[in-house]
Amino acid sequence: MKLATIGLNHETAPLAIREQLAFTAATLADAVRHLIADTAAEAVILSTCNRTEIYCVADAEDVLAWWANYHQLTVDEIRPYIYTHGCGETIRHAFRVACGLDSMVLGEPQILGQMKDAVRIATEQHALGTWLNALFQRTFSAAKEVRSHTCVGDNTVSMASASVKMAEVLYPDLTQANVLLVGAGEMNELVATYFAAKQPAKLTIANRSLKRAEDLCDSLISPANACLLNDLPHILADYDVVISCTAAPLPILGKGMVESAMAARNGKPMFMLDLAVPRDIEVQVGDVAGVMLKTVDDIFAVVETGKEARRSAAAAAEQMVERKVMEFVDWQKQRQRVPLICALRDEGERARQYVLQNAMKQLARGAHPHDVLERLSVQLTNKLLHAPTSVLSKDDDLSNAISQIYRLQPPNHQLERQAA
């Protein structure tokens, strides 16, 4: 088993595929637990609107088969959309993702929190071991340093702020618009903050937990109302802008519900943005007259704003990431050498103890100390050099290594000196 990453993202797979292979918040812990039980020695599953990735210590093909089977698909169906990284590339990839260098929104900060949540869930399921613990500790440390010492996150047009920009295409003056946010999770917390700053005519947050929605309403700078998801069929017609982002496994807003709402709006258009993966709004809603339906993939054009400035900053960030990757790789190599170094020292200590005990016995029998020391030095030299001499006599490929270990001139160099 080796360290590996198996995943797909907004560049390798369309939304329809991403939502089929995503893990919802409700299923994530269960998925990690089953992956560890069935296939992997260690595992962390990161599932966001733009990517789903499995960081693991396992055979990559086995994990791919498990992933397909978990979602009742075949490997052949999903393979065209999947990328796989081996050990070295997994380290680099994790660092780049945490720094926002692999995101749709270059430098966006949310992914770091999402990675930390994924690691927390994996930890709770006892799915982290030596490899992934070390990887993510270094990943989070590197991300913090890169974001502190580069401008890669500056001038970022986040998905939350992009949501406002997209809504303003249909409703340029949001002070005259009623806004409904479906879901009160992390993404909609940010979305709510941006919309509240625009002081819409009415702002409502619908959520499965009324308390969670009320808490979010209380934290905003402008008045907002809270309601339950069950209220949506009765209130939807009142809203001009609807942003949905929940962790529901199935759509919450169906075509029939939206058709009924539009019929009550007397031709007034409605802007709908679905930020969830899997989707909260049925794709057929886009066919309803008067509805402008957008998904997370449609945000790309908006978030391109300011990308050039961030791209130049990203070059510096990439250099820092490379240094951090090499530091981590060197550290891992040193850790892997420690058992060998300890074993080598133990072997030397056994040799020392053996010849020392012989010397002590000879002294006890009255041997002259000079003779004892002479014999001790010869025995110790023979014991320490026996193993490398035996290997060297059988394997010419190790001659350079032996020369470096004992700081000797290579045989070829000695021949050259003799010839000269």
Q: What string of pLDDT tens digits covers the 420 residues of the chain? A: 689 999 999 999 999 999 999 998 889 999 999 999 999 999 999 998 889 999 999 999 999 999 999 999 999 999 999 999 998 899 999 999 998 888 877 777 788 989 999 999 999 999 999 889 999 999 999 899 888 888 776 655 678 888 999 999 999 999 999 999 999 988 899 899 999 999 999 999 999 999 999 999 999 988 999 999 999 999 999 999 999 999 899 999 999 999 999 999 999 999 999 999 999 999 999 999 999 999 988 887 777 665 666 676 777 788 888 888 888 877 777 666 656 667 778 788 888 888 899 999 999 998 999 988 999 899 888 888 887 887 777 766 777 777 777 777 655 555 455 555
> Rounded CA gap, 294 and 282, in Å?
11
Mapped onto helix, strand or coil, the DSSP state of residue 358 is: helix
User: Rounded to 5, what percent of the chain is helix, strand, coil?
Assistant: 60, 15, 25
Tokens representing 202 are 């009415």
Cβ neighbours of residue 60 closer than 8 Å, sequence gap 6 or more: 4, 6, 84, 86
Contact of 379 with 350, CB cutoff 8 Å: no
Q: Which residues face 356 on adjacent strands?
A: none
CB atoms within 10 A of CB 114: 19
Helix, strand counts (H, E) of the chain: 17, 10
pLDDT tens digit sequence for 230-261: 999 999 999 999 999 998 999 999 999 999 99
Give me the count of residues in the chain. Answer: 420
**What does the mean pLDDT of the chain come to?**
88
60-67 CB contacts, 8 Å cutoff, 24+ apart: 60/4, 60/6, 60/84, 60/86, 63/4, 63/6, 63/35, 63/39, 64/6, 66/34, 66/35, 66/38, 66/39, 67/6, 67/21
Confidence at residue 415, expressed as pLDDT on a 0 to 100 scale: 47
At 354 the pLDDT is: 87
Give residue 270's pLDDT.
98
Alpha-carbon Rg of the chain, whole angstroms?
31
Q: In this structure, are residues 285 and 223 in contact, taking their beta carbons and an 8 Å threshold?
A: no
For residue 418, the model assigns a pLDDT of: 52
pLDDT for 133: 93
- SS3 of 260-318: the string is HHHHHCCCCCEEEEECCCCCCECHHHHHCCCEEEEEHHHHHHHHCCCHHHHHHHHHHHH
Report the Cα–Cα distance between both ends of the chain, in Å, rounded: 52
Q: In sequence order, what are the residues at sequence separation of 6 or more whose Cβ sits closer than 8 angstroms to the Cβ of residue 130?
A: none
Report d(CA 319, CA 101) in Å as an integer. 12
Confirm if 243 and 273 have CB atoms less than 8 A apart. Answer: yes
User: How far is CA 259 from each of CA 183, 263, 265, 288, rounded to the nearest angstrom?
Assistant: 21, 6, 10, 6
Enclosing H/E stretch for 184: none
- SS3 of residue 204 by DSSP: strand
Residues in a beta bridge with 58: 2
- Nearest alpha carbon to residue 103 among 317, 249, 280: 317
Q: Output the pLDDT for position 71.
A: 96
Residue 110 is predicted with a pLDDT of 82
**45 and 53 in contact (C-beta within 8 Å)?**
yes
Nearest to 117 by CA among 174, 175, 48: 48
Contact in structure between 212 and 150 (CB atoms under 8 Å):
no
> What is the C-alpha to C-alpha distance for residues 21 and 117, in angstroms, rounded to an integer?
19
Q: What pTM value is reported for the model? A: 0.69
The answer to whether residue 49 is catalytic is: yes
Q: What is the pLDDT of residue 140?
A: 95
Q: How far apart are CA 102 and CA 10, in angstroms?
A: 10
